Amino acid sequence: MSYSDLEKFAREVMSRPEFLTDHEVYMYMKPQNGNQRTQKYINVYNVSAQSYDSIALYDKNGAKIDEIYPDETTTMNGVPAINYGVDEKNGRTGGCYLTTACVDYFGKPDDCYELETLRSFRDGFMQTSTEMKEAAKKYYVIAPKIVAKINSLPNKASVYQKMYTDLVQKCINLINKGKNKEAYETYKDYSEALEEKYL
């Protein structure tokens, strides 16, 4: 799967009533020359891309429940993985709170201006020093756990609203002004605060 396809698949799984109402995920797969596998997962608060070929489920404490490697026969909450390029092998990890804030709570497309700007910033400026490269890697480790914790909160909408205003929009404004270092420091401070609060 590509990076964006894997994220879209995870978000579609979380958009279904089983997840929204009951925090459940139903998984079905029947690999070639393998046994049919069906499983029901309960108390799931985040579904996110874990690597280029796997999806991870997290509980409300940010602990990983299971990691699933979908194939062309896999469905999760009735969503077919094959619709999301399951056979592609050029993806990146996902499950990020920036995407959740922009896409899930503000109805923006995955290729919206904010996310495309932040991705360019990540793949450009943040690759110019070892510290920033490590920060980008760390983000993909902690982000799914933070999203799971936030998704378990009754005030999650207000948390994402604040995140969009104080992190996403602020970083975009700084990047547009050419203040990349300040944008990185804003991202770093906010991410560290989230990690301290939720992990």
**Residue 178 DSSP one-character state:** T
Contact 24, 39 (CB under 8 A): no
Residue range 3-29: mean pLDDT, rounded? 89
Contact 76, 47 (CB under 8 A): yes
Q: Does residue 40 register a pLDDT over 50?
A: yes
Residue 100, Cβ density class (10 Å: 0-12 exposed, 13-18 middle, ≥19 buried): buried
The owner of tokens 């874990």 is 50
Residue range 166-191: mean pLDDT, rounded? 96
Q: pLDDT category, 91, cuts 50, 70, 90?
A: very low
Element (H, E) at 54: strand 54-58
Instruction: Give the chain's end-to-end CA distance (angstroms, integer).
Output: 29
Q: What pLDDT sits at residue 51?
A: 67
At 26 the three-state DSSP class reads: strand
pLDDT: which is higher, 131 or 86: 131
Q: What pLDDT sits at residue 35?
A: 73
Q: What pLDDT sits at residue 2?
A: 63
Average pLDDT over the chain, rounded to an integer: 86
